[in-house]
Structure 1
């Protein structure tokens, strides 16, 4: 009987799903016309050799190419379309390349080593951040002398404003790569450090956040690493796991405010306070919305925590007041955490949210002077396969006759805490609901946590010098290319000529006439 149901189900989908595709796609002229339009756009593309006044780096943590494809389909399906034809904001970027993500010591990387590569321009070892490969994981004594600085610091030293926005804790590996030097990415606060590391002079990442680089905008989670042990959290005062953790009794938030004396510095921890921050009257902003990582987008309380779109916008509006420009790192960090839990639905919704933040950033900036890059630090074991019909739910649920037909589920993890597959049979296939946000996707090899992938990741760019981000490059190349485009860091030999070739202003175009007039007055 089950075999008959599957047969009827297949015939049903053949009739319904295929006919659900846009009818114009059956006409060859639809595809020919689309191709010609794309060709005209490519042929009309002009190189933008301007110096980038601003650089925006959008980092999807764990957002491999499979994740981008699946998120594209989800974004369309959330808009009641079949999904495959959807155009993400990042899809519109004209220049695309690949980055090789291996570390000095491992084939497959973590977020700390990769952050060191694309932010500091140096490949390093697994689990260390802001130090070269001469430093050893967890060995404090190996850190001294092996610290490397990031493009965020290079931009600040050049007089630009700088900011970090993340959906994780601000002490997490990706944001930490922009300001910290640590032989352990897990030394979020001093309570996370072994006594030997403290004796040898190493400093926790939270303390480095307020001392290493003068960061104008800091937005994310991570309150508990900033306050003394036992300090009640303002949002969860009765939860001991949310309380402050610092053993040194320092209140880093208060210290940060005192360090900004003479400037307008705001610290906020909820959306009401965040919304009240006036970008035009704010020099510095620290916004920490959770004790640890921020909530997943689909679980976020919009009355308490802003979206990544809102945090990105606030950061840009504050940073762009600087006439010299800015550097901004925006991390969609919980894409990675959704994958680790084999919760593909959560990961994909996070990727869609990041793409929406990219769209908002483009609305707020000028492509002629702002270099915008979207990339990932690494991928995951997520695969997208099978022979699903057009428009099949990317999250996999195909309810017919009361069945969840998992053979039509197209997303699967190579490993992780998903449903075990035994003898090619999946247990309890009638009991799952793949559209449930808490659904744990199937995994071929059961593990406590799903793992990273090691294949190259996409690098998408638009704006000044965006053509530098083409081809297959080492991930460490990205920091140097961003620095070259924005004339920060060591390689600035080209900058004077680039600035002198800037478009004429009305005064500039009148300059020869004025000089001629002055000369005539002097002579006669």
Structure 2
């Protein structure tokens, strides 16, 4: 059970938030929710919600994994219930940042934008963005669940500040600004954070020079760095850092150093479910997407299977618990993966399953894993490709291509090599814009059905947990400069450390200091913890209403 101190603190925050009036500068939200679809769905109420996202997973990816496994059904299969539209605010093919923002906040956004509204809505059916609302932060499900006394967690096999996990924990209109995103994550008060990206929390790995690893320890997290450490964690706040950058593909990982996605999911559920108020957990199988970008079918199979094992953990808990909603959906498809290519155009219906699967079964590592097996001058290409990829008929051009591949891109070279032999087709090294499969399981076996918007999923989870995302947005993201000015205060900036600016608000004898991306305020030298982070979106600053209320 969560500590009494934590529970009292959470309830105090909820009580304060319930009494806070929203800023007079109300946010006008754009369209992005399919009301018709929402009304047709069964009413689902749940104590807990687990959302699982296999980033970039094409429909043929699950079929390929199924056949690779001998035809056995996936854990996902019994949850298949509908389709999800994946377009963003201004593009038919979505980037992960706005696609994840739709899942997390209920609003479509612009390419590269994390947890903020777009500059404009140009896709059919979307209302224009209200003047002044461009790039404005909007509340995510983790923030709303936290303010509703629930425990929260995020998991990813990428760097934890990568687009999708950042969508559920931070706000900035540039997914590549790891400094801004990761600092918000540290001060977001999330109970369980598991994934990669350790180097981006060190002073040496950041442009702002902040030692966020020390901050994570100071904030009371049990920091774990390997599988044994994760297994030993039993309660309290846990932060897992299992790789300097992204974690390895499941097929390539050292199980002693890096836990599987299923192990991370199981441990998060174990810890979060001790909170009597319930929990919200987001789990991302990040590198399904990376394998698809590289057209690497082995990476696809590796991490679709790893993701499916995580789904099995969530589904088993939900069935036993009886009060948990599980939703799974990819944010977009990627690569245009097909079982069959142009070489099978005239004989596709005559080819046995072995044509496609046998070449893949010979691989012992992914395309990324191959690179680690090659020696410094890559003179062992033929041997490695034979022993670890099962390919014994490399052409001179293929050997030359492998030898010339730059570091970190080997899967882009060997993925297509094995795809050709297995007749796995690809149309792109980028995302694609088709509808994706919706998987759902609610209390009593209830499911969401039909064709829905990606934004609808946020609304379904919001409704199931009894949350109010719009209210939380008003509570956490008040336009600071204009609102303080309306109270007769003066706003300036302390840029003594240009990399870590501090907003300074003065009125009468009171001086309020608000360091960007943190959840603390300093009022006349007294440090006060806020119930949200201070967000600068590159143009404007937004603060929790509780920070506004410190100036009388």
TM-score band, normalised by shorter chain: 0.5 to 0.7
- For residue 359 of structure 2, give the secondary structure of its aligned residue in structure 1: coil
Indicate the residue corresponding to 2:232 in structure 1: 276
Given the alignment of the two structures, is residue 251 of structure 1 paired with residue 188 of structure 2, yes or no? no
List aligned pairs for 1:215-234, cutoff 5 A.
215-229=190-204
Q: Tell me the matched-pair count.
A: 364
* Distance across 2 between alignment mates of 1:452 and 1:145: 23
CA contact (8 A) 1:158 1:488 kept: yes
The structure-2 alpha-carbon separation of the partners of 1:483 and 1:465, relative to structure 1 and needing over 3 Å to count, comes to: farther
Residue from 89, 97, 107 that aligns with 1:122: 107
* Distance across 1 between alignment mates of 2:355 and 2:280: 38
* Distance across 2 between alignment mates of 1:465 and 1:478: 19
- For residue 112 of structure 1, give the secondary structure of its aligned residue in structure 2: helix
List aligned pairs for 1:378-457, cutoff 5 A.
378-380=332-334, 381-385=336-340, 386-387=348-349, 389-392=351-354, 394-395=356-357, 397=359, 430-431=393-394, 438-440=414-416, 441-442=419-420, 450-457=429-436
- For residue 203 of structure 2, give the secondary structure of its aligned residue in structure 1: coil
Cα shift at 1:143 = 8.6
Cα shift at 1:390 = 4.6
* Distance across 1 between alignment mates of 2:255 and 2:261: 11
Cα shift at 1:174 = 0.5
Given the alignment of the two structures, is residue 53 of structure 1 paired with residue 53 of structure 2, yes or no? no
Deviations 1:439-495 (Å, cap 9, x if unpaired)? Answer: 433499999x81111100111101138756211111111100111112122599xxx
Indicate the residue corresponding to 1:39 in structure 2: none
Gaps of 5+ in 2: 1-40, 122-131, 341-347, 362-390, 399-409, 472-552
Given the alignment of the two structures, is residue 371 of structure 1 paired with residue 325 of structure 2, yes or no? yes
* Distance across 2 between alignment mates of 1:177 and 1:145: 14
Indicate the residue corresponding to 2:156 in structure 1: 166
* Distance across 1 between alignment mates of 2:90 and 2:332: 15
Q: TM-score, normalised by structure 2?
A: 0.61
* Distance across 2 between alignment mates of 1:450 and 1:50: 38
The structure-2 alpha-carbon separation of the partners of 1:53 and 1:291, relative to structure 1 and needing over 3 Å to count, comes to: same
Cα shift at 1:275 = 2.5
Cα shift at 1:328 = 0.6
List aligned pairs for 1:216-365, cutoff 5 A.
216-229=191-204, 245-260=205-220, 265-277=221-233, 279=234, 282-365=235-318
CA contact (8 A) 2:196 2:246 kept: yes
CA contact (8 A) 2:298 2:360 kept: no
Indicate the residue corresponding to 1:152 in structure 2: 142
Indicate the residue corresponding to 1:26 in structure 2: none
Shifted more, 318-327 versus 483-492: the winner is: 483-492
CA contact (8 A) 1:74 1:394 kept: no
- For residue 143 of structure 2, give the secondary structure of its aligned residue in structure 1: helix
* Distance across 2 between alignment mates of 1:340 and 1:390: 27
CA contact (8 A) 1:60 1:351 kept: yes
CA contact (8 A) 1:125 1:133 kept: yes
* Distance across 2 between alignment mates of 1:378 and 1:355: 17
Residue from 152, 166, 182 that aligns with 1:176: 166
* Distance across 1 between alignment mates of 2:445 and 2:310: 19
Question: CA RMSD of the aligned region, Å?
Answer: 3.0
Residue from 445, 459, 471 that aligns with 2:450: 471
* Distance across 1 between alignment mates of 2:50 and 2:360: 39
Gaps of 5+ in 1: 1-46, 77-82, 137-141, 190-203, 230-244, 400-427, 493-524
CA contact (8 A) 1:267 1:286 kept: yes
CA contact (8 A) 1:50 1:465 kept: no
Cα shift at 1:219 = 0.3
* Distance across 2 between alignment mates of 1:336 and 1:248: 29
Q: TM-score, normalised by structure 1?
A: 0.64
CA contact (8 A) 1:131 1:182 kept: yes
Given the alignment of the two structures, is residue 104 of structure 1 paired with residue 89 of structure 2, yes or no? yes
Residue from 160, 177, 183 that aligns with 1:207: 183
Indicate the residue corresponding to 1:91 in structure 2: 77
* Distance across 2 between alignment mates of 1:169 and 1:465: 35
Return structure 1 stretches of 4+ with deviation > 6 angstroms. 142-145, 443-447
- For residue 297 of structure 1, give the secondary structure of its aligned residue in structure 2: coil
CA contact (8 A) 1:131 1:143 kept: no
